[in-house]
Amino acid sequence: MTPNYTLSGRYRIIRSLGEGGMANVYLAHDLILDRDVAVKLLRLDLRDDPKTIKRFQREALATTELVHPHIVSLYDVGEENGMQYLVMEYVKGMDLKNYIKEHFPLPLQQVIDIMEQILSAVATAHAHNIIHRDLKPQNILIDEHGNAKITDFGIAVALSEHTMTQTNTILGSVHYLSPEQARGSMATKQSDIYSLGIILYEMLTGSVPFKGETAVSIALKHFQNEIPSVRDFDAEIPQALENVVLRATAKDPRDRYATVADMASDLLTTLSETRVGEKRFEPEDLGNDETKIMPSADIAAAIAANRRADAAKKSQEAPVTTDPSMQASEQTPADAPLPKRSWSKRHPIRRRLILFGSIAVLLVAAIIVGLELSRPQMTTVPKLAGMTQASATKVLAKRQLSVGTIKREKSNAVAKNQIIKSTPGSKKSVQQRSRINLTISSGAKQTAFGNYVNENYADVKSTLTAVGFKVTQRFSTSDVAAGQIISQDVVAGSSVLPTNTTVTFTVSAGSRYVSLRDLTGESQTDISNYATANRLNLIFKQGYSDDQKSGYSYDQDPEGGTDVRAGSTVTVNMSKGSQPANADLAESFKVKVKVPYQALNTATATANDVKIYLEDDSHLIDSLYREITITSTTRVTLPFQLTGSQTGKYRIVRNGVTVAEKTKVTNKDATN
């Protein structure tokens, strides 16, 4: 399919996105709805194969039944000139396989979040009695916001070296193939759970558990070898998290999770302190010693080859006889003449020459060793970036190195008086007593802030953080494409110091609805990750709770299960623990703070954007309390309620720059 070809008069092909064993995928533009889509086109060489056509149609049918935020949506099905095609949601990003390669190691919380999304999608499929049969990272797409979406429901897999097809009663990509599928049995929901366990293993370790030169050798390992321990790869992985992998990939399907929902529920608490010290999962003995039927001729041949190899190895390791008479007969033939006298006695001159030569060689070697010892030893340059000159001098001295020339330059990414780089750079090999030149920051330089409205948030954030800006986002329901910047709180054209500026972008969350999860009992970090993934805004408050321990949520508004639009705000109450005896003695007072107005050197904007953050008995400092705009110097009133000896906090940010801050507020700061 060539670019600019218009399929059915509606879908204009832009470029190829990938090629598979059954179909090729193209990026196209829907001319009617004015949106980008993915077109999956059945390969021309397979369009007359009835089995392939049936599998292609099965994918269309399966995907039509499944409506889920983490399953790629199907928009249209058609045929043109004998070419069958599917029109699907275009997910801008990459597949999970490449995402792991580019971002490994993934933070454990991110691994859990991605897996929770995948499990939620598979649970929906299983609820419709649809078994994916080919779950693998290549069939899971990760969009620009880190959201996972499963694709390729019901379609046959590529006919490659590491793929086993239904020809031998085995279906599925071999690296993620369940033991029962490898034996030729029918795939079940537990088969999908096994594949999910392998995917989780790969996210934790960066590679698949079993490798081999052929598909058959890998399949053998799936039902013969134990899954390698992820904790042997990284001891920081909790045993509870490894147990999820072990249970999902148990050889016997009866030892695995009964449902995908059970796996998701178990996974959700793996980082909880309550599961520290958990014992390693061991499958139950369910009497699995019965004879298994394996219809694949390739697997049977491989097993026979392994047995022949073992027999040959044993024959090569046969013990050597220790009979002295046998050794003598082997070492000295019966008719060999006996020696009359030693060679050294018959050749005295040669013996002396060899002796003197050996002494000469030893002397030369000693001289070479002495020269080597007198030379300066080699060492590596340590990482000095971010250190002060004084700290770098001490670190270099430990490696017999010293500071050379000093160069100073402006930097928006490195704080003043900290090292930007060294020459030679870190990890370079140099001789001891070498001098290392340093480039030190002389401070940030002001720069004109750009206008980023209508640009992609992920791209802008990457650009700005690289030069020292702190970048945050909040979402807004909009018909604009999700992820696109709608507004910014730092005025375009204003002069700012990047390292001293926090810019908040209002980003389109699209117009879809989200079924709000019950967030009670979760940590602030987990809730924040969930909100970002679903493009929801959060307001955190705090209070006392006898039902929830400190640091975990005890209430939310709206409640879990409510359908809300992306871009909505959810208020979550975090527990401070049980109510203390002196809680009734809380004192309320007000603090007035003057916010200075800053005249802007732009012709289009005059107002200052002001964000207020405070912390007391009810509020948290990292959650926005109030936002206002000012056109002149303004006094704001901040209400506080504090119990006992507790202190409060406030921070006021004007156009991205903190202009007022206090970390220990008491009633002594109250104003009338």
CA dist., res. 2 & res. 6, Å (int): 9
CA dist., res. 491 & res. 599, Å (int): 11
**Amino acid at residue number 550:** S
User: What would the two tokens of residue 102 be?
Assistant: 């580019």
User: What would the two tokens of residue 55 be?
Assistant: 């599998």
Is the separation of the CB atoms in 194 and 263 below 8 Å?
A: no
CA dist., res. 218 & res. 280, Å (int): 25
Sign for the CA dihedral angle at 293, 131, 189, 522 comes to positive
CA dist., res. 144 & res. 456, Å (int): 10
Is the separation of the CB atoms in 176 and 135 below 8 Å?
A: yes
Measure Cα distances from 291 to 183, 287, 288, 294 in Å.
Answer: 12, 11, 9, 10
CA atoms within 13 A on the CB side of 34: 3
3-state SS, residue 417: coil
Q: At what angle do helices 108-127 and 189-205 cross, to 10 degrees?
A: 170
Torsion angle defined by CA atoms of residues 191, 197, 200 and 202, in that order, rounded to the nearest 10 degrees: -90
563: annotated active-site residue: no
The greatest distance separating any two alpha carbons of the chain, rounded to the nearest whole angstrom, comes to 122
Sign for the CA dihedral angle at 479, 485, 488, 492 comes to negative
Catalytic site residue from 30, 34, 95, 134: 134
Please name the residue ranges forming H helices in 206-296.
Answer: 215-224, 230-233, 239-248, 260-268
Is the separation of the CB atoms in 101 and 142 below 8 Å?
A: no
Give me the active site residues, please. 134
